[in-house]
Amino acid sequence: MKFPENNIIDSWLDQNGDAEIARLVEKNLAITEKIIAVLKEKNIKKLDFAKMLGKKPSEVTKWLSGTHNLTMKSINKIEMVLNINLINIDPITEYKYVYLGSIKGENMSTAINNYENSNYDVAL
C-alpha cells in the first residue's frame, strides 16, 4: 500500500528520521496489505469483516488504512476469523532427530523403555 504524497506519516518520518518507527510503519503496512488481499480473495466486504471481528466498521476501516498500530491481540483475532497466518514465527525446537535403527525385543513398549533409558548420545 502506498500512501499519497505529503501524508502525515511520511512528513513525520522525514522530520524525525526514526528508523525504528519507519520499520514499524513498513511492517504494519505489509500486514495491512496482506489482510486486504485476503479479504479480496475471499470476497469479504469490510462491513462483513467488521461483523466477523465484532468491531465497528469505522475501527476496521482505520485498521485497514495502514496508519493504525495493530496490536498482537488484534492481529491474532484477524488471523482467527480469516483462518490465515499473518506473522510466521516458528517455535524453537530444542532437539530434532530421527533414530533409523532397530530396537531389539519382543515387547515393543519394553523395547522402547529400554531404548529411552540407554546411554546413546544425541548428535546435533
Number of domains in the chain: 1
- Provide CB contacts within 8 A for 124, sequence distance 6+: 95
Q: Which residue is it, cell 480473495?
A: 41
What's this model's pTM, rounded to 2 decimal places? Answer: 0.60
**Is 111 domain-assigned?**
no
Summarised one tens digit per residue, pLDDT across range 13-47 is 667 667 787 788 888 888 999 999 999 999 999 99
User: How do residues 66-91 score in pLDDT, each as one tens digit?
Assistant: 778 889 999 999 999 999 999 887 77
What's the CA dihedral at 38, 41, 43, 49 to 10 degrees?
Answer: 0
Average pLDDT, the chain: 78
Q: Which of 14-23, 55-64, 115-124 has the lowest mean pLDDT?
A: 115-124
Q: Give the H/E segment covering residue 16.
A: helix 8-16
Whether residue 45 lies inside any domain: the answer is yes
Residue 100: inside a domain? no
Confidence of residue 1 (pLDDT cuts 50, 70, 90): very low
Contact 32, 38 (CB under 8 A): no
CATH number at residue 35: 1.10.260
Domain range for 27: 8-82
